[in-house]
Amino acid sequence: LALCSMVFVLLHALRVRMFSAFSPAPRFASMTAGLKTESEVDTRENEIVAPDFTNRNPRNLEQMALARKERGWKTTWPKREFWHRLRFERTQHYVEAFVERCNGDVVVSASTREWAIKRHLYSPRGVTACRNLGHVMAQRCLEAGINFVNFKAVIPWERRCDSASEFEKAMKEGGVVLQEPRRIYQ
């Protein structure tokens, strides 16, 4: 019985000690020992730049218009001088839109083949389908963080048709700017 009460007292003392270690009450002795005066602060190491810098957010340079654009050759058509290009394609049965990078990777896409879009349309190819696809594509671009795209039709005379102009108008209404900012050369 005496051993049991002694263990109980030791456990209680341990709990009190643990509680005081994690309590939010200020401990002034430990706080004053850790502070340095202003004369002891060394600021020389703040100006040292790491030689192996890795950019963890490459889109930031695009937003500031400082990122490099691939120029390619002058004779290539269509031009490759963009960060993101919006492609609008009409096939025999469907309408598709893609946002692609200059290396050809598709970043965002939408199509009237998708059941979520197709079920709201009367026809998956008409002018209203193109307009609705523009609204969906604008929303997906903004959700992906793409505010500026280069919209140039692959074949220039395709841009004049009603469906392409409605698609373009819906993208603008959705908040996407269809022209990329000029690159800043500095």
| pLDDT tens profile 45-74 | 767 766 776 767 667 777 777 777 777 767
- Give a yes or no: residue 161 inside a domain: yes
Dig out the tokens for 182 from the structure: 């000029």
| Residue ranges making up the domain that contains 161 | 67-173
Q: Does 106 or 73 have the greater pLDDT score?
A: 106
- Give a yes or no: residue 6 inside a domain: no
What CA–CA distance (Å, rounded) separates 57 from 50?
A: 17
Helices (H) and strands (E) in the chain, counts: 6, 3
Asked if 88 contacts 160 with a C-beta cutoff of 8 angstroms, the reply is no
∠ CA 131-120-89, nearest 5°, is: 40
Q: Whole-number mean pLDDT of the chain?
A: 79
CATH number at 136 reads 3.30.420.80
The DSSP letter of residue 103 is: T
- For 172, the enclosing helix (H) or strand (E) is helix 162-173
- Give a yes or no: residue 83 inside a domain: yes
Q: How many domains does the chain have?
A: 1
Dig out the tokens for 88 from the structure: 């609008």
What CA–CA distance (Å, rounded) separates 111 from 163?
A: 14
| Residue in 105, 82, 91 with CA at minimum distance from that of residue 152 | 82
| pLDDT tens profile 157-177 | 777 789 999 999 999 999 999
pLDDT (average), residues 93-120: 92
Asked if 85 contacts 152 with a C-beta cutoff of 8 angstroms, the reply is yes
- Give a yes or no: residue 127 inside a domain: yes
